[in-house]
Amino acid sequence: MKAFWNEFKEFIARGNVLSMAVGLIVGSAFTAIVTSLNQDIITPLLGLILGQIDFAALSFTVGGATVAYGRFIQAVITFLITALTLFLLLKGVNRFLRRREAEEKAEAKAEEAVSPVPADVQLLTEIRDLLAKERNV
């Protein structure tokens, strides 16, 4: 039983689990921001354009069941806004990472071009090439 708890503590202490926990917390906060953007800004503006202020009030009754399709409309709008926001965020991060990688490659090439090959390395390279040539003949 003690080995089980030690293994569990090791699992929890790993960086992956901690990173995932932080991601979930940040994701929850991000969801609250997007939900507020949808409910407090976008939905009322769409409601004004369409002549209805609150989509949540849209519903119809069939028999004894109430179908609240307005809430569904709000959920779809929230999903689309969340997906668009994440897409734009990831697109920006990927662009930043690609630019940074390109800069690092350019710096590495510049260093290679500037720094001359030492004589001993050049000589060893020539010997290697000659030996490879002899083996192929």
**CATH code at 38?**
1.10.1200.120
Q: Which tens digit of pLDDT belongs to each residue from 6-55? A: 887 777 677 677 778 888 898 888 888 877 887 788 777 877 887 766 67
The predicted model scores a pTM of: 0.52
Close Cβ partners of 67 (under 8 Å, ≥ 6 residues apart): 59, 60, 61
N-to-C CA span, the chain: 67
Q: What is the pLDDT of residue 20?
A: 80
Based on the structure, what is the number of domains in the chain? Answer: 1
CA distance 115 to 122: 13
Average pLDDT over residues 54-80: 84
> Which residue segment(s) compose the domain that 79 sits in?
2-136
Close Cβ partners of 71 (under 8 Å, ≥ 6 residues apart): 55, 56
Percent of the chain with pLDDT over 90: 12
